[in-house]
Amino acid sequence: MIEILTEEEFELMKESGKILQEVFKACRDQIKPGMSTHDVDKIAYDIIRGHDAIPSFLNFGTPPFPGTICASVNEEVVHGIPKKSRILKDGDIISVDVGAILNGYQSDACRTYCVGDVAPEVRDLVKRTEESFFKGLEFAKPGCRTGDIGHAVQEYCESFGYGVVRELTGHGIGTEMHEDPDVPNYGKPGHGYKLKKGMAICIEPMITLGERYIEMLGDQWTISTVDGKPAAHYENTILITENGPYMTTYDYEEGF
């Protein structure tokens, strides 16, 4: 189902998105070597519940997801389960994917953080994954197609020799976390679903330092690169307006 939202509903989406802005600021300031991924999960949980919002991911799916965030470390692409036993080390990267529901409306976003002294090629991967999001964002406006977004992300990332994950995509969002249309990170210009004013979507490049191939681990949630090389992930919730895209989960003043 594709929802076409009113201006009033857009305002509700913005309020939900502001909660995730707060989560990301706290993660940026507090993530460090020696923390567990469970510690990071608690940061997000406390902020979301402190706003009387609901963590979107908690108990979602089958089997029920046990965390507020997906905490994906190094070669883990997405859906890493937060654990007290998973300790972040100097040189790691961690993707924090998180959602919140406020007044019935969803927000969904992700940032990848460098933990301590990260290898230059991995730091570049994180930076360029974020940059690829903004390449795609240029086409998040009425009349453009999902293929335009995907092509922009793919062309930028593959110019550096990175892998672009194909099995996982961005998506529509509104009163449900995952709605139509799919928003792939690859594609052909002029192809795919045509965007309309009033839609809300998530663009979320998932980019690998090596090959693009992925596999699910035995916990039935965590998805990792097959070759064991690092992956980065960057995402925002975006409102499609007549004046262009508006990111609800992005702090425009801080640029974060």
Conformation bin of residue 20: beta by default, left when phi > 0, alpha when psi is -120 to 50: alpha
- Apex CA 30: angle with CA 25 and CA 33, to 5°? 140
Do the bridges between strand 206-208 and strand 163-164 make them parallel or antiparallel, or are there none, so unpaired?
Answer: antiparallel
Mean pLDDT calculated for residue range 198-221: 98
Phi, psi of 194, rounded to the nearest 5 degrees? -85, 125
- The structure's pTM equals 0.98
Cβ(55)–Cβ(45) below 8 Å: yes
The arithmetic mean of pLDDT across residues 209-220, rounded, is 98
Has residue 35 got a pLDDT over 80?
yes
Report pLDDT for 10: 97
Nearest to 136 by CA among 119, 124, 148, 120: 148
How far is the C-alpha of 54 from the C-alpha of 10, rounded, in Å?
18
Q: Give Rg (Cα) of the chain.
A: 17
pLDDT-based confidence at residue 1 (cuts at 50, 70, 90): confident
Q: Say if residue 66 is preceded by a cis peptide, omega within 30 of 0.
A: no
pLDDT over 90 percentage in the chain: 100
Q: Are strands 206-208 and 231-233 parallel, antiparallel or unpaired?
A: antiparallel
pLDDT in tens, 150-176: 999 999 999 999 999 999 999 999 999
Q: What is the structure's pLDDT at 239?
A: 98
All structural domains of the chain: 7-247 (3.90.230.10)
Asked whether the predicted pLDDT for residue 102 surpasses 80, the reply is: yes
SS3 sequence of 17-38: HHHHHHHHHHHHHHCCCCCEHH
Q: Is the peptide bond before 82 cis (omega within 30 degrees of 0)?
A: no
Amino acid at 130: E
The one-character DSSP state at 212 is S
> What distance in Å separates the CA atoms of residue 80 and residue 78, rounded to the nearest whole number?
6
E-only strand ranges, 13-156:
54-55, 69-73, 76-78, 93-102, 105-114
Percent of the chain with pLDDT over 70: 100
Q: Which residues contact 3 (CB under 8 A, 6 or more apart)?
A: 172, 174, 175, 179, 198, 199, 200
The pLDDT of residue 4: 97
